Chain A
Amino acid sequence: MSRRVVITGAGYVSGLGVGREALFSAMREGRSGVRSIVGTFDGITMTHAAPVKDFTAEDHFDPARIKQQLDPLSQYAVVAAREAVASSGLDLSDEVRETTSAVLGSSIGGLDTVEENFVLGPKRVHPMAIPRMMASAPASQVAMEFGLHGPSFATSSACSSSAHAIAQAVLFIRAGLAERAVTGGTESTHVRSSYRSWDALRVVSRDACRPFCKSRSGIVLGEGAGVYVLEEYEAAKARGANILAEIIGIGMTSDGSDILAPNQRWVEKAIERCLKDAQLNPQDVHYINAHGTGTKLNDVCETEAIKKVFNGQTKQLAVSSTKPIHGHTLGAAAGIEISSILLAMNEGVIAPTLNYNEQDPECDLDYVTNTPRNGKVDVALCNSFAFGGLNAVLAFKKV
């Protein structure tokens, strides 16, 4: 039998603030971190986002390390990783560090550094521009922070980046290539060129993110990091770790068809593969944290895919998209959204899909809308579907 993998620590930086409780309390209360960004940058047309809140880099890092090495992308990852490791209670002995991986997803890389060096037009490029902006910087910085020596790297698959990172970390542990991992995702989007690029793509809502709602008009950007400590189950149990959930399944596919539009068949297949890997039947699943971006195409495609895979067995199934709470955090998406699954499993509260005001006949699952719902969640899925058709679904079980 395959080695089991459990989550024993979690840490977050998000538009709700720094730390787990800032995010969990918003999920629990159905409160949004999205706010007006009017006047923050010249030349942007989007009006709302969920930039990281209450975060001052100097409170967390030596000024030299910030200037020379840490784009906000890495800052968020390291701060979240510190919380994850501390909350896991893991003793980072030499032996533990030798067999611990750091796998961190990021969609774009260090845009703040790109902006500073190449967009704002300084006389010269800073010698540490590359080490600051490279997409693998967060993985390196997390590994350096704790002195980790297991297989470590970045994953990049747009909005599935952190789901793929976590999947990879699970596979490492299952295969015995690592005993544990610090994994998740990070993204920094509060940068003028980021906002302008998303404006140009014409997928950003002018008012609010309303997943699965007839009046939905696009995404609202967020940023931050969600990082977990994963361990092999027997080892975690033996040391008396507080197990937050088990990751029991992974399903991944590629649409192989379009750089923007989702392909329902391969979204379905990712969910199916995940259920198969987890040895689950559709009726076992109580909750799906949907990708639920709030775009016209995604939400119908995702709804239809779930319905097809579940084949009418959706009576027990609640679905929500928490993106109106923390924004679409791109490469950090699954990293941050798994918090809703931990909340549901450990506190019996399903975080809602906020801003829902009009039913869409094409989106007809049991969405938890506007207010949190109490319910027992033993098994849950987290969906991530990226631009370019890179799909990753993770399955979780209460231990």
Chain B
Amino acid sequence: MSTLEQRVLEAFAKGTVKDVNDLTLETDFQSIGVDSTDLLCMIFELEDEFDFEIPQDFENKTFETIGDVAKAVREHIEENNIDITPKG
């Protein structure tokens, strides 16, 4: 797993207040009961982690797994040429 995927997993765990050790990129949202509040909090943590603003329509994408989120984050970073090197 790349660093980006690991960072997405950690942000997801923080946002949804779950143990990161219980999660993988294949973890299915339905199986762990992810709701709209979780998605909001996950986006908040992703923005914190990567230090860029996630566009308003991000949560309208269809995510079934944490891997789907990681893929969307990667696409956004590549399309917009964003530096995600951790600060400090």
Interface residues of chain A, those whose CB is within 8 Å of chain B, are 62-64, 66-69, 123-124, 126-128, 131
Contacts and interface: CB of A to CB of B under 8 A. Distances in A.
A32 B40 CA distance: 43
B70 interface: no
Interface of B: 16-18, 37-38, 40-41, 43-44, 47-48
Nearest to A63: B17
Contacts of B44: 124, 126-127
Chain A to chain B: the 3 pairs with minimum beta-carbon distance, closest first: A64-B17, A127-B40, A63-B17
Contacts, number: 28
A339 to B, nearest CB: 34
Contacts of B17: 62-64, 66-68
Contacts of B40: 127-128
A67 B17 CA distance: 8
B59 to A, nearest CB: 11
A57 to B, nearest CB: 12
A165 B78 CA distance: 54
Contacts of B48: 123-124
Contacts of B38: 64, 68
23 contacts: A62-B17, A63-B17, A64-B16, A64-B17, A64-B18, A67-B17, A67-B41, A68-B17, A68-B37, A68-B38, A69-B37, A123-B48, A124-B44, A124-B47, A124-B48, A126-B44, A127-B40, A127-B41, A127-B43, A127-B44, A128-B40, A128-B41, A131-B37
Given A62-B17, A128-B37, 11 more contacts: A64-B38, A67-B41, A68-B17, A68-B38, A69-B37, A124-B47, A126-B41, A127-B40, A127-B43, A127-B44, A128-B41
Contacts of A66: 17
A64 B16 CA distance: 6
A126 B48 CA distance: 11
A66 B41 CA distance: 13
A63 B14 CA distance: 11
B4 to A, nearest CB: 21
B87 to A, nearest CB: 12
Nearest to B42: A127
